[in-house]
Amino acid sequence: MVVSKQDQTQGGSGWGAGASTSTEAALLRRYPGLQALMKRAKQRIPRFAFDYLEGGVGNEICIERNRQAFDDIEIIPRYGLDTSAPNLTTSLFSCDYAMPLGISPMGLSGLVWPKADEAMAAAAEKSKIPFVLSMVSNTDIEAIARIAPNVVWLQLYAVPQDDYRVTLDMVDRAIKAGVHALVLTLDTPMRQKRLRDLSNGLTVPFRPTLKTVYDVARAPEWALSTLRHGQPRFANFIPYVNGRRRPGDVAGYVDQHMSGAFTWDLIERIRQKWKGPLVLKGIQHPDDAEHALKLNIDGIIISNHGGRQFDAAPAAIDLVQLLKRRVAGRMAIMLDGSIHSGLDILKALVCGADFTFAGRPFLAATAALGAKGPAHLARMFEVELKGVMAQAGATEIMECPTLSYRMDRNKDFSGLNPDQSAKNTGI
């Protein structure tokens, strides 16, 4: 993972102040920032699993672009205000979350750490932040809804077989399970070439090679845990494989049928079935955002799949203002891709996002520390966000978009120059 300079430097002694118990304080000392968690995850899991987590499409330029764009943002702080107790509570789709951050959907997370979906869902419930379960998760939606009844969202792919029967049936299952919001991922019309996975021989279904066996032998904790829990299965798909329940059968089905674009027609069909909040993930073009509005979509997650699908995609954060100008105030504008700290969350809000999500950091935290990892990370993000809001001069989330910022050293700061005053209007 391209980790920002700020991740490397955060974690001085002052951060102990964010811990409310001695266990938390000890964790903060050992893992004060994302970089320490990534390092631990890398030591603890096989190389192919770490590459699956960290890697991206092609030459991984888009991953770097996502990161660089955040690092380039500057914010002018405001002083003379009492910002000693920032309030992070954020209302989204009629739910109050503890902060404007959720966990992005990540399929096959069980490869990275056994039962990772369950660990992340439990942490999200405890931390009061949304957990988006991937359709290709390793625990099914019914079980996750029991673990995280107050914060569970579900992400779907378009599975074209039999007129999308699996995708549409999953909508019914989401309704029955009490899912809060449905997320349709649009940016995966076709499987893409991820060089690390190819060279590691990572296939679905998983077929061990000499190299992967060697990798596993070097990660005994992961190997034991995987032995105890069994090979990860695409749990949501078990009902659709005609009683063939072996991991290989289900994986074979997913491999054969999981590739297809969400068309606007299919989105419209889902809109008619699903009355709750409906979100499109992967939207990047303003015309697509406008099309979504016409179909009564409630929100978009500006995302390039964390640089895993299209290496020429712009950094997600660079698109916020562009999309905001088209659809501001009419739908929630969310974002993911390279949110590595509370400061990144603040930067996204200042640039006009209403809410943010992080993927790899939560899965890496799970790989590093097991079940306690994702809750530790959520707490770390929360403490960091409070700190940087106080520093920048905001006491409420809705005040963040009023701060002056620039994304490029050669440009003027927003709000200070009349030519640059594209307003951030929160939703």
Ligand X SMILES: Cc1cc2nc3c(=O)[nH]c(=O)nc-3n(C[C@H](O)[C@H](O)[C@H](O)COP(=O)(O)O)c2cc1C
**Stretch in the footprint of ligand X (CB under 6 A) among 38-46, 269-277, 337-345, 393-401:** 337-345
Nearer to ligand X, 357 or 414 (CB): 357
Per CB under 6 A, which of residues 174..233 are in contact with ligand X? 185
- Interface residue with ligand X among 133, 144, 331, 358 (CB under 6 A) is 358
Question: How many other β-carbons are positioned within 10 Å of the β-carbon of residue 209?
Answer: 14
- Interface residue with ligand X among 144, 152, 339, 367 (CB under 6 A) is 339
Q: Which region, left, alpha or beta, applies to residue 135 given φ > 0 means left and ψ of -120 to 50 means alpha?
A: alpha
Q: How far is the CB of 214 from ligand X (least distance, A)?
A: 22
Nearer to ligand X, 19 or 158 (CB): 158
Does 305 interact with ligand X (rule: CB under 6 A)?
yes
Does 299 interact with ligand X (rule: CB under 6 A)?
no
User: Alpha helix locations (H) across 113-209?
Assistant: 116-127, 141-147, 161-177, 195-199
Q: How far is the CB of 380 from ligand X (least distance, A)?
A: 15
Does 336 interact with ligand X (rule: CB under 6 A)?
yes
* Angle at alpha carbon of residue 132, lines to 36 and 32, rounded to 5°: 15
Per CB under 6 A, which of residues 314..333 are in contact with ligand X? none
Q: How far is the CB of 189 from ligand X (least distance, A)?
A: 13
Known catalytic residues? 305
Tokens read off for 209: 């090679």
For residue 93, which of 122, 125, 124, 130 has the smallest C-alpha distance?
Answer: 130
Does 235 interact with ligand X (rule: CB under 6 A)?
no
CA 324 to chain centre: 20
DSSP classification of residue 191: -
Does 114 interact with ligand X (rule: CB under 6 A)?
no
Q: How far is the CB of 245 from ligand X (least distance, A)?
A: 21
Q: Which region, left, alpha or beta, applies to residue 94 given φ > 0 means left and ψ of -120 to 50 means alpha?
A: left
Q: How far is the CB of 318 from ligand X (least distance, A)?
A: 15
Does 4 interact with ligand X (rule: CB under 6 A)?
no
For residue 274, which of 156, 354, 148 has the smallest C-alpha distance?
Answer: 156
Q: How far apart are CA 156 and CA 184, in angstroms?
A: 5
Does 155 interact with ligand X (rule: CB under 6 A)?
yes
Q: What CA–CA distances, in Å, run from 385 to 63, 89, 256, 372, 382?
A: 23, 12, 43, 20, 5
The secondary element (H helix, E strand) that includes residue 69 is helix 61-72
Nearer to ligand X, 107 or 277 (CB): 107
Q: How far is the CB of 188 from ligand X (least distance, A)?
A: 7
Does 360 interact with ligand X (rule: CB under 6 A)?
yes
- Interface residue with ligand X among 57, 92, 123, 136 (CB under 6 A) is 136
Does 138 interact with ligand X (rule: CB under 6 A)?
no
Nearer to ligand X, 305 or 347 (CB): 305
Does 100 interact with ligand X (rule: CB under 6 A)?
no
Q: How far apart are CA 357 and CA 130, in angstroms?
A: 9
For residue 373, which of 144, 49, 44, 139 has the smallest C-alpha distance?
Answer: 44
- Interface residue with ligand X among 11, 100, 232, 306 (CB under 6 A) is 306
Does 281 interact with ligand X (rule: CB under 6 A)?
yes
Does 65 interact with ligand X (rule: CB under 6 A)?
no
Q: How far is the CB of 65 from ligand X (least distance, A)?
A: 11
Tokens read off for 185: 């991922």
Contact 102, 214 (CB under 8 A): no
Residues that bind ligand X (CB under 6 A): 52-53, 104-107, 134, 136, 155, 185, 281, 303, 305-306, 308, 336-339, 358-360
